[in-house]
Amino acid sequence: MPLSFKVVNMSSHNNAPLKILFTASEAHPLIKTGGLADVAGSLPIALSNFGLDVRLVLPAYPDAIQRSAPLQEVTSIRVPGFTETIRILEGRLAGRIPLYLVDAPSLFNRPGNPYTDASGKNWSDNGLRFISFCRAVASIALNHAELGWRPDLVHCNDWQTGLVPALLSSEWNRPATLFTIHNLAYQGLYDEETFQSLRLPPEFWNPAALEFHGHCSFIKGGLAFADWVTTVSPTYALEILTKAFGYGLEGLLQHRASRLKGVLNGIDYAIWNPASDPAIPQHFDTNSFNLKYINKVRLQQELGLPVKEGAFLFGHIGRLVEQKGVDLILDVLPGLIRTPNTQLVILGSGSPELEKALHQASKQHPDRVAVFIGYDEQLAHRIEAASDCFLMPSRFEPCGLNQLYSLRYGAVPIVHRTGGLNDTVIDVSPRNLLDGIATGFTFDTPDKNSLWRAVERAIQFKNRPGVWWDNLAINGMKQNFSWDTSARHYLDIYQEAIDSPAPNPIADITERI
Ligand code: ADP
Ligand code: GLC
């Protein structure tokens, strides 16, 4: 779904900068479980570089409070369905983007993950936690929280913020709304009893609104009510219109297709830059690619693998969930082990079964496989810097950031041609390598044989004499996936959403009632 540029008027009335309230449930470096945090921590900065007045609002998790100190309480509010007073704390993201933390300790002051308890089970009151958050965001958006600032548009991200467009829809003086889908697989579904307990307007219990096969769907609040909907790559924007990727929401998305666009994520090259990354032992760039191997040697030492600068090191980092296809990596492991001189490093956490299987693999092949179960941001940087190849056999991938980090770090990606992976990695052929276009290896079906064929192609390519491999890796390092282009696309969409609000999907129904 290609986007065309047009001249953007970046101001609201009287040439004042456009005011955007950006909201998500996580943002790097305050709190992170995946790529959503990378986007919410970097896109607001890119937008503010274009002169927009952007403010970020997040739940006040303990890590977020600690990492954004000093904070100041600026106001307090009450929201329906939650008995305690909510404090709004103000700080700064990256020292400059105004940041509001929604401080409701009984909802958000919990150890560990924002969504799950220590055993990985969803917190049982997630419905209440995130509707209360959405109500607080809506209150800020309408200036009911009296912060003396009223946004022109609220940019919501994923199901945790999905109810914001729905809650704002009936307000005559509401700001425009944009909802970005980072992953349609996570929808925030709750039973009817929970819906009632959340004190949502009864007319929302309707298939045109939040009702989804007998459940209340938070993500539908965004998909049905937002003025515009975006997702994080052009290919995923097409995929989610199909049964295979739509999770039953494809009909609604088709209905909204004229206000649905795919905008590829950018990455923050200030954080992910092998020439200056403080987390990696040896800096390198396209002119000093020959130094990259030092990172490999240091990682081998760190993780207890045999130290061999000539080893062919495969890396993988990610949430251990079905989406990411780590089981396929385990399926091709025998082939990797049979191939002399290969090593595999995996960093991830998630499904206990996959964690166990990975542990077993590293125990069985300690000289070939190193596994680190857990979450370690710095180690993720060191793996990107050390790896020759990065494996990403995701079954689906809305955008994917790791392949973009891999490209920058000269870790040639091997990816399933889906979603954002299809939009960012170009399969190698002798011709497009010479043209400087090829950047990796792609395969069409997420199964063991297809992944293995791609891995074999990479191994053969690596064994070619001369500088073929280096040229391929350096091509990848030269790609530009900074936010500049994508942030411009968002500016376009913000303006369209502000200029032409979408009709309220249940206005008709309410009138008939
Ligand atoms: P997703 O958002 O689906 O998890 P992405 O590729 O968009 O996938 O982003 C994942 C982000 O989370 C990357 O920044 C990646 O480095 C990071 N990440 C995932 N798992 C871990 C982990 N175990 N340790 C450190 N970083 C991780
Ligand atoms: C999601 C997707 C991932 C995407 C990230 C940031 O978690 O799974 O593909 O890169 O969000 O948009």
Domain boundaries, the chain: 10-266+484-512, 289-480
Q: How far is the CA of 498 from the centre of ligand 2 (A)?
A: 26
Q: Each residue of 104-135: b (16+ CB within 10 Å) or e?
A: beebbebeebbbeeeeeeebeebbbbbbbbbb
**What is the pTM for the complete model shown?**
0.96
Q: Which runs of E-coded beta strand occur in 24-122?
A: 53-59, 72-77, 86-93, 97-103
Q: In testing the pocket of ligand 2, which one of 182, 233, 405, 490 has its CB within 8 Å of the most ligand atoms?
A: 182
- The secondary structure of 434-478 as a DSSP string is HTT---BEEESS-SHHHHHHHHHHHHHHHTSSSSHHHHHHHHHHH
Burial class (CB in 10 A: 0-12, 13-18, 19+), 173: exposed
Q: How far is the CA of 38 from the centre of ligand 1 (A)?
A: 9
- Nearest Cα residue to atom 5 of ligand 2: 35
pLDDT at 3: 35
d(CA 259, CA 257): 5
d(CA 311, CA 303): 14
pLDDT at 8: 39
Count Cα atoms within 13 angstroms, Cβ side, for 168. Answer: 36
- Is domain 289-480 classified as CATH 3.40.50.720? no
- β 228-231/97-103 pair status: unpaired
Q: Is the CB of 398 under 6 A from ligand 2?
A: yes
Q: How far is the CA of 231 from the centre of ligand 2 (A)?
A: 9
d(CA 357, CA 354): 5
pLDDT at 511: 58
pLDDT at 14: 57
Distances (CA, A) of 475 to 277, 291, 314, 319: 20, 16, 19, 28
Q: In testing the pocket of ligand 1, which one of 319, 405, 407, 423 has its CB within 8 Å of the most ligand atoms?
A: 319
Q: How far is the CA of 327 from the centre of ligand 1 (A)?
A: 17
Q: Which of 35, 21, 43 is nearest to 485 (CA)?
A: 43
Which residue do the tokens 């810097």 mark?
385
Peptide bond into 503 cis (omega under 30): no
Q: Which ligand is nearest to the CA of 265?
A: 2
Burial class (CB in 10 A: 0-12, 13-18, 19+), 242: exposed
- Nearest Cα residue to atom 1 of ligand 2: 182
Q: Which ligand is nearest to the CA of 402?
A: 1
d(CA 349, CA 118): 12
Q: Phi and psi at residue 412, in whole multiples of 5°? A: -60, 120
Q: Phi and psi at residue 343, in whole multiples of 5°? A: -135, 155
- Nearest Cα residue to atom 22 of ligand 1: 375
pLDDT at 466: 78
Beta bridge partners of 223: none
pLDDT at 7: 33
pLDDT averaged over 10-residue windows placed end to end, the chain, 513 residues: 36 75 98 97 97 98 94 97 97 96 97 87 96 98 95 98 98 97 98 96 96 98 98 98 98 98 97 98 98 98 97 97 97 98 97 96 98 97 98 98 98 98 94 88 98 97 91 96 96 97 84 54
Superfamily of domain covering 10-266+484-512: Glycogen Phosphorylase B; (3.40.50.2000)
Q: How far is the CA of 401 from the centre of ligand 2 (A)?
A: 7
Ligand 1 pocket, residues with Cβ under 6 angstroms: 34-36, 38, 317-319, 347-349, 375-377, 380, 399-402
pLDDT at 506: 92
**What 3-state DSSP class applies to 99?**
strand
Q: Is the CB of 342 under 6 A from ligand 2?
A: no
> Which of ligand 1's atoms lies nearest the C-alpha of 397?
3
Long-range contacts of 81-87 (CB under 8 A, 24+ apart): 81/128, 81/131, 81/132, 81/135, 81/197, 81/198, 81/199, 82/107, 82/128, 82/132, 82/135, 86/132, 86/136, 87/60
* Topology agreement, domain 10-266+484-512 and domain 289-480: yes
